[in-house]
């Protein structure tokens, strides 16, 4: 069942989203060659506990507060002593539990200077998120969001990694509905005022198929190709769609 949020509940999530955006900005500053993903997680967790707690730590036994997915890793990357190198790309996926509500966001950032394909993948994935958000209007349908994302990604000769999708969010980290990154216009559930959900295109340079890594948490591309991930928590209000994690 989709949980419709009141204006007061959205206001709390707006506060949490602003904090989350600040946290990811601080972590991003430290994404540098020579850093380990373990160091980045320690930084993130220290910031989370100033305001609330990380949504991901302990969720389905996930061991860290920050998901850090490197290169071919798609989602749920477990922090480790692995050292970042010039030319890598790193996805930061974080969630904050603040005043009884979750918010969730993700970005993918270059480590130093990256090659042209990796740079274009990041640009395309970020624009795909913007294309999806444009369609998140009251009276539209969730299929409209998926179609916009998939159409744009395909036009750029990249691949939607279809095993992964966005989701509703609120008092629970994952709520109904699923928000797919593919679909057809005018299909799926109707978007209504008071809905709050995460749009998160997850895009690859190669084939769409994924496999589980040895961590037991992390998914990676089966063909070893690069993956990128951008995400915002958005609310549908009487004034239109609002990005709570802007």
pLDDT of residue 13: 98
What 3-state DSSP class applies to 132? helix
Residue 60 belongs to domain spanning: 7-243
For residue 1, tell me if it sits in a domain: no
Number of H helices, E strands in the chain: 4, 15
For residue 111, tell me if it sits in a domain: yes
Contacts of 139 (CB under 8 A, 6+ apart): 190, 191
Q: How far apart are CA 62 and CA 94, in angstroms?
A: 12
pLDDT of residue 98: 98
Taking a C-beta distance cutoff of 8 angstroms, is the pair 202, 229 a contact? Answer: yes
Number of domains making up the chain: 1
Does pTM surpass 0.85?
yes
For residue 139, tell me if it sits in a domain: yes
For residue 59, tell me if it sits in a domain: yes
Residues 170-180 as b/e (b if ≥16 CB within 10 A, e otherwise) read: beebbbebebb
For residue 29, tell me if it sits in a domain: yes
For residue 141, tell me if it sits in a domain: yes
pLDDT of residue 23: 98
pLDDT of residue 163: 96
For residue 79, tell me if it sits in a domain: yes
Tokens standing for residue 169: 């969010």
CATH number at residue 56: 3.90.230.10
Regions of the chain with pLDDT less than 70: none
pLDDT of residue 197: 98
Closest CA to 135 of 154, 124, 150: 150
pLDDT of residue 92: 98
């Amino acid at each position: 069942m989709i949980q419709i949020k009141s204006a007061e509940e959205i206001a709390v999530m707006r506060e949490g989203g602003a904090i989350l955006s600040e946290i990811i900005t601080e972590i991003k500053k430290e994404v540098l060659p020579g850093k380990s993903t373990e160091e980045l997680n320690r930084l993130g967790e220290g910031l989370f506990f100033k305001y609330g707690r990380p949504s991901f730590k302990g969720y389905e036994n996930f061991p860290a507060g920050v998901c850090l997915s490197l290169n071919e890793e798609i989602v749920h990357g477990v922090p480790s002593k692995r050292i970042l190198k010039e030319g890598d790309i790193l996805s930061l996926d974080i969630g904050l539990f603040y005043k009884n509500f979750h918010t969730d966001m993700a970005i993918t950032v270059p480590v130093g200077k990256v090659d042209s394909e990796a740079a274009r993948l990041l640009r395309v994935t970020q624009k795909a998120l913007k294309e999806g958000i444009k369609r998140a209007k009251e009276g539209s349908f969730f299929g409209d969001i998926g179609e916009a994302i998939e159409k744009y990604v395909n036009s750029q000769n990249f691949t939607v990694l279809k095993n992964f999708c966005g989701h509703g969010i609120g008092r629970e980290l994952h709520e109904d509905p699923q928000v797919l990154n593919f679909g057809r216009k005018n299909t799926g559930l109707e978007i209504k005022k008071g809905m709050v959900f995460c749009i998160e295109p997850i895009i690859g340079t190669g084939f769409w198929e994924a496999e589980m890594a040895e961590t037991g948490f992390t998914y990676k591309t089966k063909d070893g190709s690069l993956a990128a991930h951008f995400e915002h928590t958005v609310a549908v209000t009487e004034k239109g769609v609002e990005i709570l994690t802007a």
